[in-house]
């Protein structure tokens, strides 16, 4: 991962002035009132959508006497972040929440997060690779704690690829050729689906292609949501959809899952965290799925598809207790094993802390994938192909919403054009500078 660290560090440092993450950025209290006056355990609320969260909380509560964690499952993506932001405004936000990396700058700059420097700064500095530190640290302050790394992976049905005579595509040209072959052989089957409802996937694909949706010039933001590399990606997928070579199911919908389970969709674009959900959604297909590097544009490359961290939300009076829970979840062997012990929703997320990857690999049941494929080894290798230089913006949730809404109506290219307009207007609306 060393080759990416310098570019991430430069991007993060440049974004500090543009974000305005100075001493007054967070506002409110620092969440330091942890001690329970009646001698009872401190209770903290934890909201998340991540797999394995419930079993993690159960294990923590069994082994910790002074802190109790109450878990609530919330939606992922824009719905979940809207719920969190609204809860902060209403004064009833949870103590701990999972915040994807793309949302950390926005949540921090809007004052939704407590500065965790004194509670978790040393943990982040000592336990996580520099590129991941830079995704959660701005202006010398630690805002969240890394949970996982999420390089893209390509999942495919080994039995059906053999049936249709398809080789695993290494490039996007090969992917298109394979899609054409599948459609020609069976008009009811497609190689893959490209959802119009998943702007995070589109961002990862744009990242892989060399796109840079946000950059900074001094203390000003320069959005490039519709830059040339991104337009290459959107034109490619618009073309596949127009030609009927791929489906376009709503992401994570029952319809999408049914198509995969029934063999109507032969492969999909995901990340290491995707494997856990496959085991529960398609248990009868054990051994028939495999993972591979994501097809590329000619050179091995990946974008980060999601990736999550833990933050403490404004209004919490228990930041110290929350930080103890977060440290246990992210850097303690027992925490990683507990996450993977959930048989109903096992997590295959690649730990951000490299020391925990061997723990996860030993605990996660890999027999589902192609006869015990080493998923964690593959994902760890792909971390080193993540293209450096990507910066997330200060109004990412609104940009995602704009892309999703317009893509549903007019396609991916129109979606990123709408996203660019929203990026520009959102920066101004937040009182931040927009580069000329």
pLDDT in tens, 75-115: 987 789 999 999 999 999 999 999 999 999 999 988 999 99
How far apart, in whole angstroms, are the C-alpha atoms of residue 296 and residue 175?
A: 9
Burial of 193 (0-12, 13-18, 19+ CB in 10 A): buried
Kindly report the pTM of this predicted structure: 0.85
Per the DSSP assignment, residues forming a β-bridge with 42 are 67
**Position 19 pLDDT exceeds 50:** yes
Residue 101, CA distances (Å) to 104, 111, 134, 391 in order? 5, 16, 10, 10
Q: How confident is the model at residue 213 (pLDDT cuts 50, 70, 90)?
A: very high
How far apart, in whole angstroms, are the C-alpha atoms of residue 205 and residue 237?
A: 10
Q: Mark 76-109 as b/e (b = at least 16 C-beta within 10 Å).
A: bbbebbebbbebbeeeebbbbbbbbbbbbbbbbb
Condensed to tens digits (0 to 9), the pLDDT of residues 23-71 reads 334 444 566 666 555 678 999 999 999 888 999 999 999 999 999 999 9
Residue with more model confidence, 391 or 346: 391
298 sits in the region (left: phi over 0; alpha: psi -120 to 50; else beta) called left
> What angle is formed at CA 293 by the lines to CA 197 and CA 377, rounded to 5 degrees?
115
Q: What is the mean pLDDT of residues 133-153?
A: 92
pLDDT at 332: 97
Q: What is the mean pLDDT of residues 132-151?
A: 91
pLDDT at 196: 97
Q: How confident is the model at residue 129 (pLDDT cuts 50, 70, 90)?
A: confident
Q: What string of DSSP letters covers 70-89?
A: EEEE---HHHHHHHHHHHHH
* Domains along the sequence of the chain with CATH: 2-149+307-363 (3.40.190.10), 152-303+391-434 (3.40.190.10)
> Which of 6-10, 170-174, 212-216, 412-416 comes out lowest in average pLDDT?
6-10
**Position 362 pLDDT exceeds 50:** yes
**Position 233 pLDDT exceeds 60:** yes
Per the DSSP assignment, residues forming a β-bridge with 137 are 142
Residue 377, CA distances (Å) to 283, 292, 300 in order? 23, 11, 16
**Position 253 pLDDT exceeds 60:** yes
pLDDT at 1: 36
Residue with more model confidence, 343 or 197: 197
């Amino acid at each position: 991962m060393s080759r990416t660290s310098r570019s991430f560090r430069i991007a993060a440092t440049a974004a500090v002035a543009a974000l305005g993450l100075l001493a007054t950025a967070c506002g409110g209290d620092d969440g330091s009132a942890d001690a329970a006056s009646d001698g009872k355990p401190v209770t903290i609320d934890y909201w998340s959508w991540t797999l394995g969260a419930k079993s993690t909380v159960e294990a923590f509560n069994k082994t910790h006497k002074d802190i109790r964690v109450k878990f609530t499952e919330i939606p992922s993506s824009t719905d979940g972040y809207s719920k969190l932001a609204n809860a902060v405004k209403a004064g009833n936000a949870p103590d701990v929440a999972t915040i994807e990396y793309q949302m950390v700058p926005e949540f921090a700059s809007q004052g939704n997060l407590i500065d965790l420097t004194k509670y978790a700064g040393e943990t982040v500095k000592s336990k996580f690779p520099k590129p991941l530190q830079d995704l959660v640290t701005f202006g010398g302050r630690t805002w969240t704690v890394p949970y996982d790394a999420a390089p893209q992976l390509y999942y495919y049905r080994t039995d059906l690829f053999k049936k249709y005579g398809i080789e695993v595509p290494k490039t996007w040209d090969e992917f298109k050729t394979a899609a054409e072959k599948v459609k020609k052989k069976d008009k009811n089957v497609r190689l893959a689906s490209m959802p119009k409802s998943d702007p995070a996937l589109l961002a990862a694909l744009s990242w892989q292609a060399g796109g840079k949706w946000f950059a900074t010039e001094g203390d000003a933001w320069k959005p490039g949501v519709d830059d040339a590399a991104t337009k290459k990606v959107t034109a490619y997928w618009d073309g596949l959809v127009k030609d009927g070579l791929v489906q376009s199911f709503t992401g994570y919908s029952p319809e999408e899952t049914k198509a995969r389970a029934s063999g109507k969709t032969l492969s999909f674009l995901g990340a290491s965290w995707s494997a856990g959900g496959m085991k529960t959604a398609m248990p009868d297909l054990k051994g028939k799925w495999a993972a591979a590097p994501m097809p590329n544009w000619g050179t091995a490359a990946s974008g980060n598809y999601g990736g999550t961290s833990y933050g403490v939300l404004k209004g919490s009076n228990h930041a110290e207790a929350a930080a103890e829970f977060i440290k246990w979840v992210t850097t303690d062997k027992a925490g990683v094993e507990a996450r993977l012990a959930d048989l109903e929703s096992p997590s295959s997320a690649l730990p951000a802390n490299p020391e925990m990857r061997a723990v996860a690999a030993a605990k996660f049941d890999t027999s589902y994938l192609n006869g015990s494929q080493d998923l964690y080894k593959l994902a760890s290798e792909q971390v080193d192909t993540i293209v450096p230089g990507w910066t997330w913006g200060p109004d990412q949730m609104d940009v995602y919403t704009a892309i999703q809404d317009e893509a549903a109506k007019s396609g991916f290219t129109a979606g990123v054009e709408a996203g660019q307009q929203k990026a520009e207007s959102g920066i101004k609306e937040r009182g931040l500078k927009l580069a000329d």
